[in-house]
A and B are shown apart, each in its own frame.
Chain A
Amino acid sequence: MTQTRQMEFVVPGMHCAGCLSKVEKALNSLPQTDYARANLSTRRVRIDGSELTAETVIDTLKAKGFDAIPFEDAQTSSAVDREARQLLLALAVAGFAMMNIMLLSVSVWAGLVSDMDESTRSLFHWISAIIAIPAVAYSGQPFFKSARKALGAGTMNMDVPISLAVILATGASLLVAVRGGEHSYFDAAVMLLFFLLIGRTLDQMLRARTFSAAQTLLGLRAQTALRLDDQGNTKKIDVADVTRGMTLLVQPGMRVPVDCKVLAGQSDIDMSLVTGEAAPVRAAKHSTLYAGALNLSGALDVEATAAVEESFLSDLIRIMGEAEQSRAKMVRLADKVARIYAPCVHILAGLAFAGWLILGAGWYGALMIAVAVLIITCPCALGLAVPAVQVAAVGQLLKDGIVVKSGDALDRLANVDVAVFDKTGTLTTGAMTPIDADRIPKKALAVAQALAKHSSHPLAKSLLNIDPDLALPELTDVAEHPGEGISGLLDGQPVKLGRRAWAAPDSQAPDQTTSELTLALPDGQHTHIGFVDTPREDAKEIIGWLHAQGKRVILLSGDHPSVAQRTASALAIAEWHGGCQPADKVDVLNALSAKGERVLMVGDGINDAPALRAAHVSMSPACASDVAQVAADIVFQGAALKPVQRALTIANAADKKVKQNFALAIGYNAIAVPLALLGLVTPLIAALAMSLSSILVTGNAALVTRGKAR
């Protein structure tokens, strides 16, 4: 019997009932499939079957119009799923224990003023203990583990006082049960865990979403390459098996799999995602190509100069990793507060214990007061309200088509000083349009369009948009010369449209800095048509808004400096850098952050990915390269830049809410802590105060999208 294999695929295009049934039916109709089930939430398909290969599945789905990406990182994903499941279980256990203990506690509190005798009270305490101790031991794990890690590293985080409060409250309550005392804190301890676990679960849900976004990166790398052998036959191989010196074929429409050198053939290469250059680049023998570039027109025989892990793309992923580390050093707002807050809480509790001991309350009474202080000061606002605000804000942005991949991205977005934009594909649409189209003689334009009709080159296509109703002359013998241009015969006379050096080698016109097409007519006349990429419709408005908000705006482009300058001046951006390599962009960002500036980076290209990671916070349009989308904190849909403004507005509103919540929590502590220090806080008050403050901050968080944001 053959072994049943289980495979998972990401199918990004699956988003409705129809797609779901198409995908499942196609896969279930394969003879090798035992069972296939699609998951609409994660956009994944799981297939059980023997003798099933990934290629069969991909081809089957492709025939139905779906792209499928093998989901190789099943282990990591199940680790994330497991974490989510454990948190939910812990939450459920804490909830169960909390409700039952509360039932008993309410009876005890009522009994204190009525007729409950000591033995019943003691019984209730013991039942509470039996429920609470296993529940705390189980549900407290996420906090205990994190606290132990922090202490092991010699630092403090919020989980240290939380763990201490929970453990001390449980231990002290056990002591109460043993001694037959009146007050126990089991309810407070478990309730604390319950509220904090809600916050933790919300936080984890946000992070899980980031993770699934990161999956597409694997898809980008899991390409195939066409290997060319000595007899000229091609064979599809996994890109991971490409070694240096191997001869490959890159067909038009394919992405270049690894860094390589052209051996034969001519073509135009779209490097826009790699270098940010908007205009296609000509490739001929000896040209160097980078992984991720798109081959537009002609087939190329190439020699791999690097294996996939040494290629440009992998290089970028490495730079991204390094940039990530520098970001990890940044402190989240909640952690910043924790660093001050946690020691304060410990000192207060310690002082309360020592003070009451000196005042003669006895070590038992002093311990109870210290525990009350710890419980009262426990940071529910930090543990619950911050994630609650973030979930509310992220949910609102999601409705507007803006995907925020991590909650703290909002935190970082709220405080940016500088907005850095990439040019091609970010501030501009990436589509080229002719300059001064009206000045082209109509007759020449008609010939140019007649030639351009036969090409798929982006510049040629854009030429066709100028005057669609123009009557085109008949051409014969039209031929496309990849990397050069198009030639044809007009009334038996040769005409050419393409690269200047090819179409009109003897042209005397001054060199242009923009990309251009040259039309050569039989009478020896040349027409040069320059092209620029057009800014997005609302780019100027958004830049103006950013300036009005007092933010500095910088343009960073991999394109030629003169092209970058043209866009910068069109959009009224004073600061711009052209001709930037990916590492240059990172350098600019690092220089800014060294000056203490917090930078928002907006970019779309593969070449922007390291900068997107290095920036304080980053955004990327949904049409961006996969790597950029993975690197960015926030991905927005649509053809406009408006989402940048929207995200900033909501982030500022969320930031305000978080601060408000901190203020609420501090205000509450300012009232409750002195009472606790005086020994006036009973478990009843502690439990009530904690629930009330938690509900208050959560309710306040839900209001984040109200008011000014709208």
Chain B
Amino acid sequence: MTVLLILIPAALALGAIGLAAFMWSLKTGQYDDLDGAAERILLDDDVDGDVGD
């Protein structure tokens, strides 16, 4: 049964990582514009330097 001492914390930690990742994505607004992201991929004009430089 000592294996439980590793497995239970491991299971909890994995779950907690998933939860933390979800919270992070929610907080940083990843779900704010679900339609925009799909359309933005079609724009190839970010060479103009609006974003990222």
Are A41 and B34 in contact, with the CB atoms below 8 A?
yes
> CA A40 – CA B43 in complex, angstroms?
14
Asked if A471 is an interface residue, CB under 8 A from chain B, the answer is no
Are B43 and A21 in contact, with the CB atoms below 8 A?
yes
Q: List the B residue with the shortest CB-CB distance to A25.
A: B50
Question: What residues of chain A lie closer than 8 Å to B31, measured between beta carbons?
Answer: 88
Q: List the B residue with the shortest CB-CB distance to A19.
A: B39
Are B23 and A40 in contact, with the CB atoms below 8 A?
no
Question: What residues of chain A lie closer than 8 Å to B48, measured between beta carbons?
Answer: 25
> CA A24 – CA B46 in complex, angstroms?
11
Question: What residues of chain B lie closer than 8 Å to A88, measured between beta carbons?
Answer: 26, 31
Question: What residues of chain B lie closer than 8 Å to A103, measured between beta carbons?
Answer: 11
Asked if A155 is an interface residue, CB under 8 A from chain B, the answer is no
Indicate whether A39 sits within 8 Å of B40 (C-beta atoms), given known contacts A92-B19, A103-B11.
no
Q: Which of B18-34 contact A (CB under 8 A)?
A: 18-19, 22-23, 26, 31-34
Are A39 and B33 in contact, with the CB atoms below 8 A?
yes
Question: What residues of chain B lie closer than 8 Å to A40, measured between beta carbons?
Answer: 33, 35-36, 39
Q: Distance (Å) between the CB of B9 and the closest chain A CB?
A: 10
Q: Which of the segments A93-101, A289-297, A374-382, A578-586 contacts the partner chain?
A: A93-101
Total interface residues in chain B, CB < 8 Å:
25
Are B33 and A92 in contact, with the CB atoms below 8 A?
no
> CA A40 – CA B42 in complex, angstroms?
14
Asked if A120 is an interface residue, CB under 8 A from chain B, the answer is yes
> CA A42 – CA B32 in complex, angstroms?
8
Question: What residues of chain A lie closer than 8 Å to B15, measured between beta carbons?
Answer: 96, 99-100
Asked if B12 is an interface residue, CB under 8 A from chain A, the answer is yes
Asked if A288 is an interface residue, CB under 8 A from chain B, the answer is no
Q: List the A residue with the shortest CB-CB distance to B16.
A: A96
Q: Distance (Å) between the CB of B6 and the closest chain A CB?
A: 14
Q: Give the total number of A-B pairs whose CB atoms are below 8 A apart.
A: 56
Q: List the A residue with the shortest CB-CB distance to B34.
A: A41
Question: What residues of chain B lie closer than 8 Å to A99, measured between beta carbons?
Answer: 15
Asked if A16 is an interface residue, CB under 8 A from chain B, the answer is yes
Q: Distance (Å) between the CB of A40 and the closest chain B CB?
A: 4
> CA A38 – CA B36 in complex, angstroms?
8
Are B22 and A92 in contact, with the CB atoms below 8 A?
yes
Total interface residues in chain A, CB < 8 Å:
26
> CA A21 – CA B1 in complex, angstroms?
60
Q: What per-residue 1/0 map shows which CB atoms of A241-272 lie under 8 Å from chain B?
A: 00000000000000000000000000000000
> CA A371 – CA B50 in complex, angstroms?
60
Are A92 and B23 in contact, with the CB atoms below 8 A?
yes
> CA A41 – CA B33 in complex, angstroms?
5
Question: What residues of chain A lie closer than 8 Å to B1, measured between beta carbons?
Answer: 120
> CA A100 – CA B36 in complex, angstroms?
35
> CA A627 – CA B1 in complex, angstroms?
68
Question: What residues of chain B lie closer than 8 Å to A145, measured between beta carbons?
Answer: none
Q: List the B residue with the shortest CB-CB distance to A29.
A: B50
Are A42 and B33 in contact, with the CB atoms below 8 A?
yes
Question: What residues of chain B lie closer than 8 Å to A100, measured between beta carbons?
Answer: 11-12, 15
Q: What per-residue 1/0 map shows which CB atoms of A307-325 lie under 8 Å from chain B?
A: 0000000000000000000
Q: Choose among A17, A28, A127 the residue that contacts B8 (Cβ–Cβ < 8 A).
A: A127
Asked if A209 is an interface residue, CB under 8 A from chain B, the answer is no
Question: What residues of chain A lie closer than 8 Å to B47, measured between beta carbons?
Answer: none
Give the interface SS of chain A, mostly helix, strand, loop or mixed.
Answer: helix
> CA A311 – CA B22 in complex, angstroms?
49
Q: Which of A363-403 contact B (CB under 8 A)?
A: none
Question: What residues of chain B lie closer than 8 Å to A104, measured between beta carbons?
Answer: 8
Indicate whether A20 sits within 8 Å of B39 (C-beta atoms), given known contacts A85-B26, A92-B22.
yes
Q: List the A residue with the shortest CB-CB distance to B33.
A: A39
Indicate whether A21 sits within 8 Å of B36 (C-beta atoms), given known contacts A96-B16, A103-B11.
no
Q: Which of A5-46 contact B (CB under 8 A)?
A: 16-17, 20-21, 24-25, 28, 38-42
Are A93 and B19 in contact, with the CB atoms below 8 A?
yes
Question: What residues of chain A lie closer than 8 Å to B35, measured between beta carbons?
Answer: 40-41
> CA A104 – CA B8 in complex, angstroms?
9
Q: Distance (Å) between the CB of B3 and the closest chain A CB?
A: 12
Q: Choose among B26, B33, B45 the residue that contacts A89 (Cβ–Cβ < 8 A).
A: B26
Q: What per-residue 1/0 map shows which CB atoms of A71-113 lie under 8 Å from chain B?
A: 0000000000000010011001100100110011000000000
> CA A127 – CA B22 in complex, angstroms?
23
> CA A92 – CA B35 in complex, angstroms?
22
Question: What residues of chain A lie closer than 8 Å to B16, measured between beta carbons?
Answer: 96
Q: Distance (Å) between the CB of A566 and the closest chain B CB?
A: 45
Are B4 and A120 in contact, with the CB atoms below 8 A?
yes
Are A17 and B11 in contact, with the CB atoms below 8 A?
no
Are A20 and B26 in contact, with the CB atoms below 8 A?
no
Question: What residues of chain A lie closer than 8 Å to B34, measured between beta carbons?
Answer: 41
> CA A85 – CA B43 in complex, angstroms?
29
Q: Distance (Å) between the CB of B11 and the closest chain A CB?
A: 6
> CA A626 – CA B22 in complex, angstroms?
38
Q: Distance (Å) between the CB of A424 and the closest chain B CB?
A: 35
> CA A44 – CA B6 in complex, angstroms?
49
Q: Distance (Å) between the CB of A93 and the closest chain B CB?
A: 7
Q: Distance (Å) between the CB of B10 and the closest chain A CB?
A: 11
Residue of A96, A103, A131 contacting most chain B CB atoms (<10 Å): A96
Are B19 and A17 in contact, with the CB atoms below 8 A?
no
> CA A41 – CA B34 in complex, angstroms?
6
Q: Distance (Å) between the CB of A105 and the closest chain B CB?
A: 13
Question: What residues of chain B lie closer than 8 Å to A89, measured between beta carbons?
Answer: 23, 26
> CA A93 – CA B15 in complex, angstroms?
10
Question: What residues of chain B lie closer than 8 Å to A21, measured between beta carbons?
Answer: 43, 45
Are B39 and A39 in contact, with the CB atoms below 8 A?
no
Q: Which of A626-642 contact B (CB under 8 A)?
A: none
Question: What residues of chain A lie closer than 8 Å to B19, measured between beta carbons?
Answer: 92-93, 96
Q: Distance (Å) between the CB of B36 and the closest chain A CB?
A: 4
Q: Distance (Å) between the CB of A90 and the closest chain B CB?
A: 11
**Shortest 5 CB-CB contacts between residues of A and residues of B:** A40-B36, A17-B39, A40-B35, A39-B33, A96-B19
Between A and B, 6 residue pairs with Cβ closer than 8 Å are: A28-B50, A40-B33, A41-B35, A89-B23, A100-B11, A120-B4
Q: Given A21-B43, A41-B34, A89-B23, 7 more contacts at CB 8 Å?
A: A17-B39, A17-B43, A40-B36, A42-B33, A92-B19, A96-B18, A120-B4
